[in-house]
């Protein structure tokens, strides 16, 4: 069998219409627009309305990606749903997404590695395509973090936003897709980003509820240090596996958590910030949706072209990290049109002579 690559044929995103600005947050907690911008680069974030769920957001993004790929949900072989804030602890939200899309009996599962979920998901999808098990895979990154936040805790509520984004990966014979990836996990930082109660270890009860242990808690400075430590190293490991260098890369698309973390990564890699896609100012940290959302926006703005080589890099709860070199579609070789036309006209001349 020919070696199969995973071409990205569709992409799409969804953000709720409701926007919360830093000025809005000033009215809720003891913070300021200046502090938030200086420490994070975030200006606003989108937050779901009461009718929306993780599944409705995921379906909106997924449908946009399917439309772009010009395929139906029934054409899918697999759905990978990267998310942390599921609609219910069980059953998996991926099954509801599969049902709502009309992807009859298509296998679907949730992949939970926090903010790194989408890059983990891409690497998993690629393995199914490589082995020939599946040919058409939908990967979704989606989060409703706003429903897990303590809106009186200024150290977390200013950082996050809700969004979903998706990509369709299809088997392809020409080299493209993931050229190299690097996944990692350091469970010694398990408690650095955590919702302590609500799972099997600490079911929600009156006492945990009163203590707010069902909300997201984070040790911001430890996470910051972890991110600064791993991002550059992981990028270099992905590049080495892809047998490429930074010179081969058109854009770096980092996890959009904090502009200062992205600036630190740029310094670490000795690159100007202009090589990095940044949308953290308009969305905040949307966790597993952050990287595909940034790619969708950058494509819409004409920055990223599908044939560009991208270096994606992320970090998140676990603690985990993930990076990969992604070329969504193969680069079309430039055709020498004049040479081709001359050859065609010579062929026509010789045919005409033969006919005479």
* Long-range residue pairs from 17-23, CB within 8 A, at least 24 positions apart, any chain: 17/46, 17/49, 18/46, 18/47, 18/48, 18/49, 19/44, 19/45, 19/46, 19/47, 20/44, 20/45, 20/46, 20/47, 20/161, 22/158
Q: Which two tokens stand for residue 258?
A: 């904090």
Q: Which residues contact 173 (CB under 8 A, 6 or more apart)?
A: 2, 3, 4, 5
Looking at the DSSP bridge assignments, the partners of residue 321 are 184, 315
**C-alpha Rg value of the chain to the nearest Å:** 22
Per CB under 6 A, 312 contacts ligand COA: no
Per CB under 6 A, 284 contacts ligand COA: no
Q: How far apart are CA 338 and CA 342, in angstroms?
A: 6
* Local structure of 316: helix, strand or coil: strand
CB 213 within 8 A of CB 306: no
285 is catalytic: yes
Closest approach of ligand COA to the CB of residue 328, in Å: 24
Q: How many helices (H) and strands (E) would you count in the chain?
A: 12, 13
Residues that bind ligand COA (rule: CB under 6 A) add up to a total of: 19
Which of 36, 313 has the CB closer to ligand COA? 36
Which of 172, 277 has the CB closer to ligand COA? 277
* Residue of 235, 255, 258, 324 with catalytic role: 255
115 is catalytic: yes
Per CB under 6 A, 318 contacts ligand COA: no
255 is catalytic: yes
Which one, of 45, 114, 47, lies nearest residue 85 by Cα? Answer: 114
Q: Which of residues 82-121 bind ligand COA (CB under 6 A)?
A: 115
Q: Which two tokens stand for residue 59?
A: 């379906």
> Which of 122, 125, 149, 193 contacts ligand COA by CB under 6 A?
193
Which of 36, 291 has the CB closer to ligand COA? 36
Which of 10, 316 has the CB closer to ligand COA? 316
Residue 159: phi and psi, rounded to 5, are -90, -25
Which of 250, 281 has the CB closer to ligand COA? 281
Which of 76, 317 has the CB closer to ligand COA? 317
* Residue of 115, 157, 176, 324 with catalytic role: 115
Per CB under 6 A, 316 contacts ligand COA: yes
Closest approach of ligand COA to the CB of residue 157, in Å: 8
CB 99 within 8 A of CB 201: no
Closest approach of ligand COA to the CB of residue 321, in Å: 10
DSSP string over 318-334: TTEEEEEEEESSPPPPP
Closest approach of ligand COA to the CB of residue 172, in Å: 32
Residue nearest to ligand COA (CB): 220
Closest approach of ligand COA to the CB of residue 69, in Å: 29
Q: Binding marks (x or -) toward ligand COA, 40..79, rule CB under 6 A?
A: x---------------------------------------
Q: Would you name the residues annotated as active-site residues?
A: 115, 255, 285
By the criterion CB under 6 A, which residues form the site for ligand COA?
31, 35-36, 39-40, 115, 154-155, 158, 193, 218, 220-221, 223-224, 257-258, 285, 316
């Amino acid at each position: 069998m020919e070696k199969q690559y995973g071409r990205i044929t569709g992409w799409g995103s969804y953000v709720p219409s409701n926007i919360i600005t830093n000025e809005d947050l000033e009215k809720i907690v003891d913070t300021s627009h200046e502090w938030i911008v200086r420490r994070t680069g975030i200006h606003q974030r989108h937050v779901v309305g009461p009718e929306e769920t993780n599944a409705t957001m995921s379906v909106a993004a997924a449908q946009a990606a399917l439309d772009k790929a010009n395929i139906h949900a029934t054409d899918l072989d697999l759905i990978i749903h990267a998310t942390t804030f599921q609609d219910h602890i069980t059953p998996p939200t991926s099954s509801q997404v599969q049902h709502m899309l009309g992807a009859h009996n298509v296998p679907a599962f949730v992949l939970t590695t926090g903010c790194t979920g989408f890059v983990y998901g891409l690497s998993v999808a690629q393995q199914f395509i490589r082995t020939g098990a599946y040919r058409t895979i939908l990967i979704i990154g989606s989060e409703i973090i706003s429903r897990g936040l303590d809106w009186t805790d200024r150290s977390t509520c200013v950082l996050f936003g809700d969004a979903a984004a998706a990509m369709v990966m299809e088997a392809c014979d020409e080299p493209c897709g993931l050229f190299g990836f690097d996944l990692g996990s350091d469970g010694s930082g398990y408690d650095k980003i955590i919702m302590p109660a609500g799972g099997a270890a600490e079911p929600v009860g009156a006492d945990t509820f009163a203590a707010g242990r069902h909300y997201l808690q984070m040790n911001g400075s430890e996470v910051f240090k972890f991110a600064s430590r791993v991002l550059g190293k992981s990028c270099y490991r992905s590049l080495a596996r892809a047998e490429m260098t930074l010179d081969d890369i058109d854009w770096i698309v980092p996890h959009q958590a904090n502009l200062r973390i992205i600036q630190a990564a740029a310094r670490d890699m000795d690159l100007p910030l202009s090589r990095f896609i940044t949308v953290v100012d308009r969305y905040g940290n949307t966790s597993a949706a952050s990287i595909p959302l940034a790619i969708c926006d950058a494509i819409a703005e004409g920055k990223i072209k599908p044939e560009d080589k991208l270096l994606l890099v992320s970090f998140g709860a676990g603690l985990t990290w993930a990076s990969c070199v992604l070329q969504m579609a193969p680069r079309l070789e430039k055709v020498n049109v004049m040479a081709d036309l001359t050859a065609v006209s010579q062929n026509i001349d010789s045919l005409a002579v033969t006919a005479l």
